[in-house]
Amino acid sequence: MTVRFGAVTVDWLGLATIRLEGETGAVVYIDPGPERYGVLEGREPRDGDLVLVSNGDHYDPASIRRVAREDAMVLVHESIDADAIDGIDDRPETLPYDIERVGADESFVLGPLDLFTTPAHNEPDGPHTDADGQPYHREGEGCGFGVTIDGVTAYWPGDTDAHSFHEDLAVDLFLPPIGGTYTMDRREAAVLAAAMRPGLVLPVHYETFDAIETDADAFVVDVANRGVPVVLDSATGEGETE
């Protein structure tokens, strides 16, 4: 289901794969793929002017090739190391695009687009740690992305816990992960959405595999009851709003 918010359309395509398009024609993809989860299966639009990759878990050259125009710019987090990712052979710099690495607290302008990044990680003493008590996503291993298209600021916080700095961000379209385990869960995301007060919330990063299964309908009800507009896109063409 394509969701329209102001001058921007947004599609959730599975996991953290998000497509944003402005009325002026700019197309942005966030975290396309990876193919091993069936994300983007059967799709090769190759219409992306800008592709954003927030961490190594979401870096998939094959999926980038599916969505990027020949003259696309690709921004990847500075920590991404293809040699450390199973099944990935191509380093970002070998891809046939304009590649830039970004840190986790930057702001910059690319043509008509304003962008910023934020830290994305799990706290060592938080609920999203592995069996050894280590955070699934350590500090410095990823980022969130904010991008303003035609006056609408969309924000994907990355694979992360909910942090206090999130509450200070001015965001129109909030795209939180809600699957839990590796990120904030639906309850934490709902509390954060209420604190941020965006114009619209569209949850992502759930359903794709067992560890991030969650009750998305309950999230919709929770957020709506807090007085925040919310839309649910199941990435299958079905959706509902509150």
**What is the average pLDDT value for the chain, to the nearest integer?**
95
Q: What type of residue sits at position 173? A: L
Cis peptide before 96 (omega within 30 of 0): no
H runs (alpha helix) in the chain: 61-67, 186-196, 216-225
| Number of domains the chain contains | 1
Pairing of strands 48-53, 68-77: parallel
pTM value?
0.95
Q: What span, in angstroms and rounded, lies between the C-alpha atoms of 23 and 27?
A: 10
Q: What span, in angstroms and rounded, lies between the C-alpha atoms of 38 and 149?
A: 28
Q: Which residue has the tokens 């008590």?
A: 133
pLDDT in tens, 19-53: 999 999 999 999 999 999 999 999 999 999 999 99
Task: Extract the tokens encoding 31.
Answer: 């975290």
Instruction: Give the residue from 83, 189, 84 showing the smallest Cα distance to 128.
Output: 189
For residue 125, what is the domain's CATH number?
3.60.15.10
pLDDT in tens, 131-152: 999 999 999 999 999 999 999 9
The sign of the torsion formed by the CA atoms of 110, 42, 77, 87 equals: negative
Determine the structural domain holding residue 192 and report its residue range. Answer: 3-241
